[in-house]
Amino acid sequence: MPVPHQPPQHALQQTVSAVLPDFVQARIESHTIGRIQQRWAGQHLLRGAFPGPDALHLSSNDYLCLANERHMIEAQARAILQTRHQLLMSAVFLQGDTPIARLEQHLAQFIGAQDSILCQSGWAANVGLMQAIAGPYTPVYLDIHAHMSFWQGAHAAHAHSIAFAHNDAAHAERQIKKHGQGVIAVDAIYSTNGSLCPLTDFADIAQRNKCVLVVDESHSLGTHGAHGAGLVAQNQLFDKVHFQTVSLAKAFAGRAGLITCPGSFKDYFAMESYPAIFSSSLLDHELTWFEQAADFLQHAEERRRRLHAITYQVRAALTQLGYDVSAGTEQIIALEPGPELLTLRLRDALQARGIFGSAFCAPATGLNRSLMRFSMNCGLTDEELDHLIRACSDIRDEVSLKRWRRSSAAV
């Protein structure tokens, strides 16, 4: 008879952990008391009800519904089963015609760029790129709504971070005239409210002032442009945009990041970017997923049309109901109560009606600029959209809509 599994002796002992020093404990208590107990009245903004089986999920960034594509899942499963030997190591050691190099060329062709670099995440792509191209005290010009990874990358480079008003190219140029040549970083579509960057204006400013221009296409690659090639391609700006960065956890429905670049940049990046040097490369089955995703997205015109139609329909309906969604135009839709207690009330009202969005607060937003984010996807049915609009209509008094901040597009 088989011997029953016995847990190791040390597992039977009561677990203990080291006592945290006072300076760490003070930070934890500040969060617990100052934020949860005082600002959130003992509740947790990100810990609401559990979704039921019929819940309407508006929190996923899988805009074109790739995550459940059967043929892609099966291709990835085959890749896992067929793997015999992989080296788990940093991509800096890879050379020649490797699967990663082939996928980087494939993705570059999908976008229309010269070459690309795969990273472990969109965060690693932005932090690693900024740390590699900006030196100590280099001016880095950041939209105030630019993704936090850009700010963290500038900090890692010991660069001089300089903010400019949201989507205000004229203000950005005034800052450049004051502080000098440097790096400009913008999002093609901003992740909190779906606002669209005037890329052509920023490209012209970068060219006039001899600045590097970095565009984060995380929320536009796959969803925008001909064949999903993104907004830099749509605006024909490859000769003015030096780098594009992408989180492949949105329309690509995976977990990795990407940087487009000149081919001559890749070896330098591999030796200078800390996230690239000190992280392991992607695995073969992950590469298979992204290869499949790029091929699928290139031909997903009907899904893109459906996504944009849904976005227009929901934005128009919310505006008619009195919600100010004018800050954005794209598939990310923000309802912005402002104070966190009002956003908590909005969350509860929506969840009581089976609708689950994403609550955003500091540091993802400014203080007292908290919001509920709805991420549209092409798979939403007409019945689900009707349910969303009815719920938003019914809760207006319950969530004190008239008390919400107005002109949320303002800086």
- Give, as one character, the DSSP assignment of residue 189: B
Residue 1 pLDDT > 70: no
Alpha-carbon torsion angle 195, 201, 204, 208, nearest 10:
-100
**Residue-range domains of the chain with CATH:** 49-66+301-403 (3.90.1150.10), 87-282 (3.40.640.10)
- Looking at the chain, the whole-number percentage of residues with pLDDT higher than 90 is 81
pLDDT of amino acid 96: 77
What's the 3-state SS for 240-269?
CCCEEEEECCCCCCCCCEEEEECHHHHHHH
Instruction: Decide if pLDDT at 237 tops 90.
Output: yes
The whole-angstrom separation of Cα 181 and Cα 174 is 12
Confidence at residue 408, expressed as pLDDT on a 0 to 100 scale:
44
Q: Which helix (H) or strand (E) holds 164?
A: strand 160-164
Nearest to 397 by CA among 321, 331, 304, 335: 321
CA 350 to each of CA 56, 325, 356, 358, 378: distance values in angstroms, whole numbers, following the listed order? 10, 17, 7, 11, 21
Asked if 207 and 188 count as a contact pair (C-beta separation under 8 A), the reply is no
Residue 409 scores a pLDDT above 50:
no
- Give the C-alpha separation, 266 to 261, whole Å: 7
| DSSP H helix total and E strand total for the chain | 15, 12
Q: Helix H segments across 15-98? A: 22-29, 70-82
Report d(CA 321, CA 154) in Å as an integer: 41
Rounded Cα gap, residues 327 and 333, in angstroms = 9
Token couple for 49: 């009800």
Mean pLDDT of 257-269: 96
* C-alpha to C-alpha distances, 91 to 109, 152, 249, 275, nearest whole angstrom: 21, 22, 20, 11
Structure confidence at residue 11 (pLDDT): 56
* pLDDT tens profile 4-14: 566 666 555 67
Give the separation between CA 272 and CA 267, rounded to whole angstroms.
9
Tens digit of pLDDT for each residue in 69-88? 999 999 999 999 998 777 77
- In this prediction, residues 214-237 reach a mean pLDDT of 98
User: Measured between alpha carbons, how far is 401 from 101 in angstroms, rounded to an integer?
Assistant: 52
Contacts of 28 (CB under 8 A, 6+ apart): 20
pLDDT tens string 277-305 = 999 899 999 999 999 999 999 999 999 99
pLDDT band for 252, please (50, 70, 90 cuts). very high
Closest to 63 in 3D by CA, of 194, 205, 215, 153? 194
For residues 96 and 355, the model is more confident at 355
Q: What is the pLDDT of residue 4?
A: 59
The DSSP H or E segment spanning 199 is helix 199-208
Residue in 227, 219, 278 with CA at minimum distance from that of residue 251: 219
Residues 285 and 283: their CA atoms lie apart, in Å, by 6
Count of other CB atoms within 10 angstroms of residue 300: 22
pTM over 0.85: yes
